[in-house]
């Protein structure tokens, strides 16, 4: 197993765990805060309700003469010092007058700090609150008590509070439950994250293993796709296409190497056999000239083959040829036709030209090689007396070159492989005329390097059509 800091699965799980932990912690803190605030608000409401009940009960046992008149400060002081009959107070207020603690307590002080009323259940450490005398209130939580402090403008102050130990215990239990529940959810989330990360990365692992087997030499291996059309399936499809092209390229390279070796072996064998024949015994000068002529013919054939191979090698490079320059394909084709006119006269072939101006950006030398290969084939292969049409046209954003002859045509079974390297539709004729079988392959490579395509049609006669972009 890879070290966890190098494993993508562990990294994903770590980030997932941190994010999930932060989310669960935030939710738990929010839930605890909401529960705590709700409980505190409830306690404050109970304290305010208790205060209202106490003061109503204080004046209910001895009503004021005028019920609509508010009690004066002196009357409030008097009632606080002498609450009257305790039995007249509601049962929830009886704890104020009984020892033993517990429940809600109340304490009031006069402006000079003297005690007006302190309930029997009040804590011993109560002291008058120190606040601005504007009647504002303040809630204070100390130890296990929640207290409501108030100082009115006259200087009188009061504290009403209650023990909140039970509520604090409930909140602690609630916090513990949140922590345990959050930990359980986090643990379950980690398990699910580990499973999801493994499931998400499994196709990548499969791709890696397949690529390793292909790199080891098993070129028939391909990535199995789940057919779900997701990103990984798309990546697998692209890689499978890449592997197909890689296997095809390697196969072409093997076939090319084998064909090149075979083609070079014939002239080398001729040269070796002829030199051995010349060295075997003394011969007449004419016989030596014959041997040297044969060696020269084989060497010239070898040189033509090597030059063709070098052209293909240069065209196969990513940055083959020179920078494209403006040129006229019609002018290039006309120049090549002039050069090949003696060959056409030798084979009694008439070259008809329909060369309309066809400007484009390209490499004139390479394009001339394309025209030369196509036109020389059209001159050499048809029977004597045939006609060859050399034509250039412009259609939209494309420049078109056509080389057409009225010969017997090429059998249909040869057309799919016509542009393969070293492939000859007429093997005997190609060997006799010294052709290497690379001309059409070179033409196709040059055309594709220019961003174009080459087509062939053959029925009564053969037409090669080159389509190039003008830009």
222-253 pLDDT per residue, tens: 777 767 667 777 777 788 888 888 877 777 77
Contact assessment for residue 406 and residue 386, using Cβ atoms and an 8 Å cutoff: yes
Measured torsion, CA atoms of residues 307, 309, 311, 312, in degrees rounded to the nearest 10: 170
The dihedral through the CA atoms of 43, 45, 51, 56 has a sign that is negative
Residue 190 lies in a domain: no
358 and 293, same structural domain? no
Q: In the numeric block, which tokens belong to residue 309?
A: 């191979």
Instruction: Say how many CA atoms lie within 13 Å of 180 toward its Cβ.
Output: 6
Please, which residues have CB within 8 angstroms of residue 193's CB and are 6 or more apart in sequence?
A: 12, 13, 16, 17, 20
**Degrees to nearest 5, angle at CA 39 with 36 and 43:** 135
pLDDT band for position 430 (50/70/90)?
A: very low
Question: How far apart are alpha carbons 141 and 7 in whole angstroms?
Answer: 51
pLDDT in tens, 26-84: 999 999 999 999 999 999 999 999 988 888 888 776 666 666 667 788 888 888 888 87
- pLDDT value at position 195? 87
What mean pLDDT comes out for the span 447-456?
Answer: 90
Question: How far apart are alpha carbons 290 and 284 in whole angstroms?
Answer: 10
Here the CATH number for the domain that contains residue 444 is 3.30.565.10
164 and 57, same structural domain? yes
376 and 283, same structural domain? no
pLDDT band for position 435 (50/70/90)?
A: low
- pLDDT value at position 428? 43
Of residues 277 and 252, more confidence is placed in 277
Helix, strand, coil percentages (3-state) for the chain, rounded to 5, are 55, 15, 30
Kindly report the backbone phi and psi dihedral angles of residue 349, in degrees, each rounded to the nearest multiple of 5, phi listed first: -110, 130
- pLDDT value at position 412? 78
Q: Three-state SS for 89?
A: coil
Name the domain boundary from 168, 186, 201.
Answer: 168
pLDDT in tens, 331-379: 999 999 999 898 889 889 999 999 999 999 988 988 998 998 899 888 8
Residue 397 lies in a domain: yes
Residue range(s) defining the domain that contains residue 146: 8-168
Write down the mean pLDDT value for the chain: 82
What mean pLDDT comes out for the span 180-206?
Answer: 86
Question: How far apart are alpha carbons 120 and 312 in whole angstroms?
Answer: 111
Question: How far apart are alpha carbons 423 and 441 in whole angstroms?
Answer: 9
1-10, 272-281, 328-337, range with greatest mean pLDDT: 328-337
- pLDDT value at position 272? 87
Name the domain boundary from 316, 344, 376.
Answer: 316
292 and 397, same structural domain? no
Q: Which long-range contacts (CB under 8 A, 24 or more apart) does 18-25 make?
A: 20/186, 20/189, 20/190, 20/193, 21/186, 24/182, 24/185, 24/186, 24/189, 25/182
| Count of the separate structural domains present in the chain | 3
**Residue 465 pLDDT > 80:** yes
**Residue 321 pLDDT > 60:** no
**Which of 320-329, 350-359, 424-433 is least confident?**
424-433
Measured torsion, CA atoms of residues 437, 442, 448, 452, in degrees rounded to the nearest 10: -90
Q: In the numeric block, which tokens belong to residue 223?
A: 């990535």
Residue 235 lies in a domain: no
**Residue 434 pLDDT > 60:** no
347 and 310, same structural domain? no
334 and 311, same structural domain? no
- DSSP for 23-57, please give it: HHHHHHHHHHHHHHHHHHHHHHHHHHHHHHHHHHH
Contact assessment for residue 158 and residue 106, using Cβ atoms and an 8 Å cutoff: yes
300 and 410, same structural domain? no
- pLDDT value at position 160? 93
151 and 30, same structural domain? yes
Q: Parallel, antiparallel, or unpaired: how do β-strands 461-469 and 398-405 relate?
A: antiparallel
Q: Three-state SS for 185?
A: helix
Residue 16 lies in a domain: yes
Percent of the chain with pLDDT over 90: 26
User: Helix 364-380 vs helix 329-346: angle between axes, to the nearest 10 degrees?
Assistant: 30
Residue 253 lies in a domain: no
- pLDDT value at position 426? 58
463 and 332, same structural domain? yes
Q: Which long-range contacts (CB under 8 A, 24 or more apart) does 416-420 make?
A: 418/456, 419/443, 419/444, 419/454
Q: In the numeric block, which tokens belong to residue 155?
A: 């200087």
What mean pLDDT comes out for the span 321-337?
Answer: 86
pLDDT band for position 217 (50/70/90)?
A: confident
pLDDT in tens, 160-191: 999 898 899 999 999 999 999 999 999 999 89
Report if pTM > 0.85: no
- pLDDT value at position 24? 94
What mean pLDDT comes out for the span 429-441?
Answer: 60
Residue 71 lies in a domain: yes
Cβ burial of 159 (10 Å; 0-12, 13-18, 19+) is: buried
455 and 384, same structural domain? yes
The residue whose two tokens read 């699910």 is: 192
What mean pLDDT comes out for the span 433-444?
Answer: 72
302 and 369, same structural domain? no
Number of residues that make up the chain = 471
Residue 378 lies in a domain: yes
Residue 222 lies in a domain: no
Q: Parallel, antiparallel, or unpaired: how do β-strands 350-355 and 387-395 relate?
A: parallel
**Which of 92-106, 207-221, 263-277, 310-324 is least confident?**
310-324
**Residue 220 pLDDT > 70:** yes
Contact assessment for residue 162 and residue 103, using Cβ atoms and an 8 Å cutoff: yes
Question: How far apart are alpha carbons 388 and 403 in whole angstroms?
Answer: 7
Name the domain boundary from 119, 138, 168.
Answer: 168
401 and 307, same structural domain? no
Instruction: Say how many CA atoms lie within 13 Å of 105 toward its Cβ.
Output: 22
**Residue 112 pLDDT > 90:** no
What mean pLDDT comes out for the span 409-424?
Answer: 74
Contact assessment for residue 108 and residue 83, using Cβ atoms and an 8 Å cutoff: no
């Amino acid at each position: 197993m890879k070290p966890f800091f190098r494993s993508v699965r562990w990294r994903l799980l770590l980030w997932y765990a941190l994010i999930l932990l932060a989310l669960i912690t935030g939710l738990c803190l929010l839930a605890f805060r909401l529960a705590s605030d709700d409980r505190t608000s409830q306690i404050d409401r109970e304290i305010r309700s208790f205060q209202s009940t106490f003061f109503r009960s204080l004046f209910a046992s001895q009503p004021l003469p005028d019920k609509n008149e508010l009690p004066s400060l002196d009357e409030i002081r008097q009632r606080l010092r002498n609450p009257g009959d305790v039995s007249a107070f509601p049962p929830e207020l009886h704890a104020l007058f009984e020892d033993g603690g517990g429940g809600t307590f109340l304490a009031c002080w006069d402006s000079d700090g003297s005690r007006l009323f302190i309930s029997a259940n009040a804590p011993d450490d109560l002291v008058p609150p120190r606040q601005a005398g504007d009647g504002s209130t303040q809630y204070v939580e100390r130890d296990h008590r929640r207290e409501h402090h108030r100082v009115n403008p006259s200087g009188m102050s009061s504290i009403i509070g209650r023990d909140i130990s039970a509520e604090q215990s409930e909140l602690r239990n609630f916090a513990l439950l949140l922590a345990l529940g959050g930990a359980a959810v986090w643990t379950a989330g980690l398990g699910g994250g580990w499973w999801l990360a493994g499931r998400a990365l499994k196709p990548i692992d499969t791709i890696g293993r397949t690529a390793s087997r292909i790199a080891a030499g098993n070129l028939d291996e391909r990535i199995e796709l789940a057919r779900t059309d997701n990103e990984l399936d798309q990546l697998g499809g692209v890689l499978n296409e890449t592997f197909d092209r890689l296997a095809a390229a390697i196969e072409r390279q093997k076939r090319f190497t084998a064909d090149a070796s075979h083609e070079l072996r014939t002239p080398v064998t001729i040269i070796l056999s002829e030199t051995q024949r010349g060295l075997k015994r003394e011969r007449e000068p004419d016989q030596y000239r014959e041997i040297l002529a044969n060696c020269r013919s084989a060497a010239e054939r070898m040189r033509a083959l090597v030059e063709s191979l070098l052209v293909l090698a240069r065209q196969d490079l990513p940055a083959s040829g020179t920078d494209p320059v403006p040129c006229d394909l019609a002018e290039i084709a006309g120049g090549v036709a002039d050069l090949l006119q003696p060959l056409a006269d030798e084979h009694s072939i008439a070259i008809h030209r329909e060369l309309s101006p066809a400007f484009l950006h390209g490499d004139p030398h390479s394009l001339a090689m394309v025209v030369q290969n196509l036109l020389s084939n059209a001159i050499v292969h048809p029977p004597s007396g045939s006609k060859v049409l050399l034509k250039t046209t412009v259609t939209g954003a494309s420049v078109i070159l056509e080389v057409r002859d009225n010969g017997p045509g090429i059998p249909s079974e040869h057309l799919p492989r016509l542009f393969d390297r070293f492939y000859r539709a007429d093997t005997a004729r190609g060997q006799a005329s010294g052709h290497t079988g690379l001309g059409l392959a070179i033409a196709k490579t040059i055309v594709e390097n220019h961003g174009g395509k080459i087509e062939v049609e053959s029925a009564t006669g053969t037409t090669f059509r080159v389509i190039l972009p003008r830009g």
